[in-house]
Amino acid sequence: MNREEPVAGVLPHDEVNSALHALNDIFDGEDDLELLLRQVCSQVARAVPGVDEVSITLLRDGHPHTAVSTDQRAIELDHDQYRLGNGPCLEAGNSGELVRVAVGESAERWPEFVFAARRAGFASFLAAPLSVSEHLAGAVNCYGIQDDGYAELDARLLEIYTTAVEAILRIYARYLDARTTIGQLRTALTSRAVIDQAKGVLMAVRRVDEDEAFSLLVVQSQRENVKLRQVAERFIDGVTGRGDPGRAERGSR
């Protein structure tokens, strides 16, 4: 990836401010997590000085994977860390602390990772944690080819930006939970409607009360080991001529 040079007269914090505004626009227009995270990678590469490649690690219940990246080398280096069980992206994701290191300072701490990083052509690393929910965490991983590491200012700029990313990912996670809940409620309402319909028909045909009609459906459900909704749907299909009414009636006796 060829990172664009900073525009003359534009300070790093101005780039981050612009990235934050763009992040808000992305969230307004995208409901696909991968597309959102790809935009985050692109913005971090522009907003934070010295960043050559970016990846985002997500930890679901402690299991890491690289969600998106700007370059295959970064993906491979992420995977080296997952295989080894250590490295800056895992430390940031698991500890919740920002990690800022240069390869020369990390040989004793992460020897195999440092070897892989040098082979890939990277010499500086900056990883900011993401804390989304009880089951989802991660890190924004910045890889640089410079030997002298990242400055404190670079770390603060990334921290500001990832704080905003965290907030948006939390909203996104709640949105997905809400969408799942809505789907479950729709299914429940549909099931309730067809079960009530089946009870009504049984009450009329068998001349029983509501509780007895419901018990007949439950017994059939348990006998066949299928969901109550399926028994009700089949019964209604049979009564309306869309199935085998004899089977449905026989099954409810």
Residue 179 is which amino acid? R
**Do 242 and 119 fall within a single domain?**
no
Mean pLDDT (whole number) for 94-115: 90
**Do 173 and 190 fall within a single domain?**
no
Looking at residue 16, what is its pLDDT? 53
Residue 20 domain boundaries: 12-179
**Do 142 and 239 fall within a single domain?**
no
**Do 62 and 148 fall within a single domain?**
yes
pLDDT band at 138 (very low <50, low <70, confident <90, very high): very high
pLDDT digits (tens, 9 = 90+) for 152-177: 989 998 998 888 888 888 887 777 66
**Do 226 and 114 fall within a single domain?**
no
pLDDT digits (tens, 9 = 90+) for 145-155: 988 888 898 99
* Single pTM value for the model: 0.62
Question: The sheet that has 124-131: what strands, in order across it?
Answer: 63-69, 53-60, 136-144, 124-131, 99-102
pLDDT band at 190 (very low <50, low <70, confident <90, very high): confident
**Do 53 and 70 fall within a single domain?**
yes
